């Protein structure tokens, strides 16, 4: 797998990462043995960026990754997150991006991961009660102390990105981005990343599984799968969005290409160029096979259902070309608990029952 620069701060990662959230939370029952096998296979295929957070589980996901990397820490670029407070017992306490909590959270994550440094440390959500400059200042202190190599933010507005980057250079911003969720192309986020040379890490590149083709009914979700609470997957929204998926897949078939981009949603529309200092990496999830259709696009897990590479499919379907609109008309997108930035609330809030991204 190609190794590329993620932004301009010296961070290098495999062309695709692996998100671990679904191995411990939010997508139904989990299987540690299968999850460890998925991480093993991803590393074999050249995936280096492995993404976790203290809130996934909570703590169990970081511990899982620490177990997977025992004896081979150098094989991975470890990304984890802080800024939403949990007690040592795992109780969700709400926003806390204070310098004191960030320092304490980092030490706890290092213990759970079984490592002496975090390669990429994100602020998971902006704390409305703490100026972003103070939060980023604390992250910068961790870099100076050698506990963190690079820092980033999740789900933030262009203004917040610029303010944070002025305190300490950001290596990456993580946000949802796919053929289904292209908001950052229109709200200024993508332009800001390109202008500042900040990398983009795009989670849910297959639209929370919709673009995989494996989801055909809300009944496909386990009772405790958080997508049951997501407006995009409820009632008429689900069926309208499924019709859009069918349209995309039919168009791909007519063009003799596949509907799952090799870099889902990350190639610029026809006629546009990426900023030369800007690089992006999709972050598909590592799911339990019985509950998620959100495949790794390269078939990273040996239990995946039909990764694109394994199917030997051709070039990807491109927005702005092949007759595919640059903006798909979808129902319920932008109204969920994770996205939904507005002019009055430019940074994404927490999901009510915890972090699901």
Question: Which residues are annotated as catalytic?
Answer: 56
3-state secondary structure of 139: helix
Q: Which residues pair with 174 in a beta bridge?
A: 154, 201
Angle (CA) 83 89 90, round 5°: 45
Q: Which of 98, 94, 177 is nearest to 132 (CA)?
A: 98
DSSP E strands in 238-343: the ranges are 280-283
C-beta of residue 148 within 8 angstroms of C-beta of residue 172: no
Strands 77-82 and 18-19: unpaired
All residues at 6 or more sequence positions from 235 whose CB lies less than 8 Å from its CB, including other chains = none
Phi-psi region of 256 (alpha: psi -120 to 50; beta: other; left: phi over 0): left
Q: Which structure tokens are listed for 35?
A: 């999850």
Q: Which residues pair with 85 in a beta bridge?
A: 94
Place of tokens 């820092």: 151
Angle (CA) 127 128 129, round 5°: 90
Q: How far is CA 269 from the centre of its chain?
A: 21
């Amino acid at each position: 797998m190609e190794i590329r620069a993620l932004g301009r701060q010296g961070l290098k990662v495999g062309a695709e990462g692996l998100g671990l959230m679904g191995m411990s939370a939010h997508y139904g029952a989990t299987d540690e043995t299968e999850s460890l096998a998925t991480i093993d296979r991803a590393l074999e295929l050249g995936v280096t960026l492995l993404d976790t957070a203290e809130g996934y589980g909570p703590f169990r996901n970081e511990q899982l990754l620490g177990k997977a990397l025992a004896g081979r820490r150098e094989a991975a670029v470890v990304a984890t997150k802080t800024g939403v407070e949990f007690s040592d017992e795992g109780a969700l306490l709400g926003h806390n991006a204070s310098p004191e909590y960030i320092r304490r959270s980092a030490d706890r994550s290092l213990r759970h991961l079984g490592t002496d440094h975090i390669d990429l440390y994100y602020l998971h959500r902006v704390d409305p009660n703490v100026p972003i400059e103070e939060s980023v200042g604390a992250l910068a202190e961790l870099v100076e102390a050698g506990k963190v190599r690079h820092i980033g933010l999740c789900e933030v507005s262009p203004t917040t990105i610029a303010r944070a980057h002025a305190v300490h250079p950001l290596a990456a911003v993580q946000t949802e981005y796919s053929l289904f969720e292209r908001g950052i192309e229109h709200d200024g986020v993508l332009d800001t990343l390109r202008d500042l040379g900040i990398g983009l890490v795009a989670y849910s590149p297959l639209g929370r599984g919709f673009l995989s083709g494996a989801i055909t009914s809300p009944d496909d979700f386990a009772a405790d799968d958080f997508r049951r609470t997501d407006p995009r997957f409820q009632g008429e929204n689900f069926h309208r969005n499924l019709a859009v998926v069918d349209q995309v897949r039919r168009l791909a078939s007519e063009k003799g290409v596949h509907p799952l981009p090799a870099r889902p949603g990350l190639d610029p529309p026809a006629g546009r160029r990426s900023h030369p200092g800007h690089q992006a990496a999709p972050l598909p999830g590592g799911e339990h096979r019985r509950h998620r259709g959100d495949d790794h696009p390269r078939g990273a897990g040996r239990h995946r259902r039909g990764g694109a590479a394994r199917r030997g499919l051709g070039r990807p379907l491109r927005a702005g070309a092949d007759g595919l609109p640059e903006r798909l008309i979808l129902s319920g997108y932008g109204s969920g608990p994770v996205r939904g930035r507005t002019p009055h609330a430019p940074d994404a809030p927490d999901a009510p029952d915890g972090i699901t991204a």
